[in-house]
């Protein structure tokens, strides 16, 4: 069945991980929008949510779900978010929606990361989807040169400013066979805020439509 149906199925299946009284970590994107709709249906059972982006915070508030900031919520039991690509080891490319920094922070603060996708996101090797990298604006060209040195083609996502006032470079042409090593290497480059690779800390559960990966 089509992508939207699979996104909705995965989003509704993710409700199974929500327990009474939880403060739930919520990601960003069109699949998560289905999850926020599903969460609204059981909003009396949860205490609230911590959002990975202003966009999702708005959707949550519109549905009567209290939004807490991460510092006051502390460690979270559950994070639900989408992905742009997912490999067989549940490592992800994220950032298509531009919220990768908030997403990576809240994923790190959460015990269980449940990733909700449609089957079009499943790949054997990460990298067909251009890798998003959040950069400090003044470092855009420096980071671009470092990417070219490593065989990538950097494309500035011109016009996009993140929730933190930064810019995004999308890297084309990498076939990422060792995402943990690449994530670690890119994180060393001054000016890079967040790399859209969730590999050092992959998803714990991947829901693809109505099946568990």
Q: Binding site residues for substrate, as ranges? A: 28-31, 81-84, 94-97, 121
Using the minimum distance from each CB to ligand DER, give the nearer residue, 30 or 112: 30
State the residues that interact with ligand DER by CB under 6 A. 27-31, 81-84, 94-97, 99-100, 103
Using the minimum distance from each CB to ligand DER, give the nearer residue, 5 or 148: 5
Whether residue 103 lies in the annotated active site:
yes
Using the minimum distance from each CB to ligand DER, give the nearer residue, 3 or 142: 3
Using the minimum distance from each CB to ligand DER, give the nearer residue, 9 or 28: 28
Tell me which H or E stretch contains 92.
strand 92-93
Q: Which one is catalytic: 103, 134, 146, 183? A: 103
What is the chain's alpha carbon radius of gyration, rounded to the nearest angstrom?
Answer: 17
Nearest residue (beta carbon) to ligand DER: 29
* Least distance between ligand DER and beta carbon 212 (Å): 18
* Least distance between ligand DER and beta carbon 98 (Å): 6
**Residue closest to 25 by CA, chosen among 62, 84, 69:** 69
* Least distance between ligand DER and beta carbon 43 (Å): 21
* Least distance between ligand DER and beta carbon 122 (Å): 12
Active site amino acids: 103
């Amino acid at each position: 069945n089509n992508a939207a149906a699979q996104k909705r199925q995965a989003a509704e299946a993710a409700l199974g991980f929500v327990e009474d009284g939880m403060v739930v970590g919520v990601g960003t994107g069109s699949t998560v929008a289905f999850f926020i709709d599903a969460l609204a249906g059981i909003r009396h059972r949860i205490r609230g949510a911590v959002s990975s982006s202003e966009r999702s915070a708005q959707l949550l508030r519109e549905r009567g779900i209290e939004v807490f900031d991460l510092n006051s919520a502390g460690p979270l039991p559950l994070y639900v978010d989408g992905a742009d690509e997912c490999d067989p080891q549940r490592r992800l490319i994220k950032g298509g929606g531009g919220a990768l920094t908030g997403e990576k922070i809240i994923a790190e603060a959460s015990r269980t990361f449940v990733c909700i996708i449609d089957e079009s996101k499943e790949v054997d090797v990460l990298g067909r989807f251009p890798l998003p990298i959040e950069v400090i604006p003044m470092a855009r060209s420096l980071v671009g040169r470092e990417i070219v040195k490593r065989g990538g083609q950097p494309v500035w996502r011109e016009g996009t400013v993140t929730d933190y006032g930064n810019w995004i470079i999308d890297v084309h042409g990498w076939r990422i066979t060792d995402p943990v090593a690449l994530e670690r290497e890119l994180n060393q480059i001054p000016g890079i805020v967040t790399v859209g690779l969730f590999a050092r800390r992959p998803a714990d559960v991947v829901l693809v439509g109505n099946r568990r990966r």
